[in-house]
Amino acid sequence: MQALVFRLIAPMASWGSIAVGESRHSGTHPSRSALLGLLAAALGLRRDDDDAHAALSANLRFGIKLHSMGFPLRDFHTVQVAPELRKQRYRTRRQEIAWPERPKLGTLLSAREYRCDSVSIVAVQLADASGAYSLAQLQKALERPTFVLYLGRRSCPLAAPVAARVGQHATLKSALDSFDAVLLPEWTSADERDEPPAQRDLQLRDRLGLGHQWHYYWDSRLGEAGLAPDAPPSLTLTQRDEPLSRRRWQFTQREEYMRMEVPA
């Protein structure tokens, strides 16, 4: 199989889940909507272009290897809210707040969740090779993105380049494991590069405070054997992160498989 593989590492990430009232929760691993949004931003797709987003979503299948879900952080957030004025549109947030006829501003309170030091590897497969974008085009977009990339919220920039690469792999699992030898070469000393990959990986995980258990996630449309024939799922999860409309901010349910493994 051919796959585009890249890494997502950030001091803070927020994988949005169902939002009820003032609470904005975060999942523990990258959501499908977040990954689609990341690639759409790299390609330069506008949020109101529903057809382009729908075509992108229909053709992409994701696999995720979670090295670390990160540590939870909860932020108490306040935002000034301006009541709507009929037949009035604003070009900027500043213009909305400073409009001379504006009545008194209100305040919206919310609690937002983040994951600190989240580390994950993502593999992308195409359902149809003749789709709008090839894996090579997606790789090039990630290397030189149109819009700034972030993990869930604009306050969550990447800590390292995504290091995207396209290659042939025996299975989805081998594609996700392809970063194991040197997860972060930028943070690995010359002495460590001469050590066995397994030992080097464990040392790096200890230094970053990563757990010693891997979680694999993959789209149920790839099937139970979609990770590898000898790697069945441990759990079946129901997620509500399948985008229906970016413009209207609507999502629907989907199923994904998860497998837990302890490094040898």
pLDDT of 47 > 90? The answer is no
Torsion angle, alpha carbons of 20, 150, 182, 121, to 10: 40
Q: What is the pTM of this model?
A: 0.82
Q: pLDDT value at position 59?
A: 94
- What integer is the mean pLDDT of 72-84? 80
* Averaged pLDDT score across all residues of the chain: 85
Instruction: Say whether 86 sits in a helix, a strand or coil.
Output: coil
In angstroms, rounded to a whole number, what is the distance separating the alpha carbons of residues 119 and 67? 5
Q: pLDDT value at position 245?
A: 84
According to DSSP, residue 157 is labeled B
Q: Helix-strand-coil percent breakdown of the chain, rounded to 5?
A: 25, 35, 40
pLDDT level of residue 204 (50, 70, 90 thresholds):
low
Q: What is the pLDDT of residues 124-170, one digit of tens each?
A: 999 988 778 999 999 999 999 999 999 998 889 999 899 999 999 99
Asked if 153 and 90 count as a contact pair (C-beta separation under 8 A), the reply is no
Alpha helices in the chain (DSSP H): 32-43, 50-59, 93-98, 135-143, 172-176, 190-193, 197-208
Ordered structural domains, the chain, with CATH? 2-71+112-261 (3.30.70.2660)
pLDDT of 67 > 70? The answer is yes
Q: pLDDT value at position 188?
A: 57
Q: pLDDT value at position 99?
A: 63
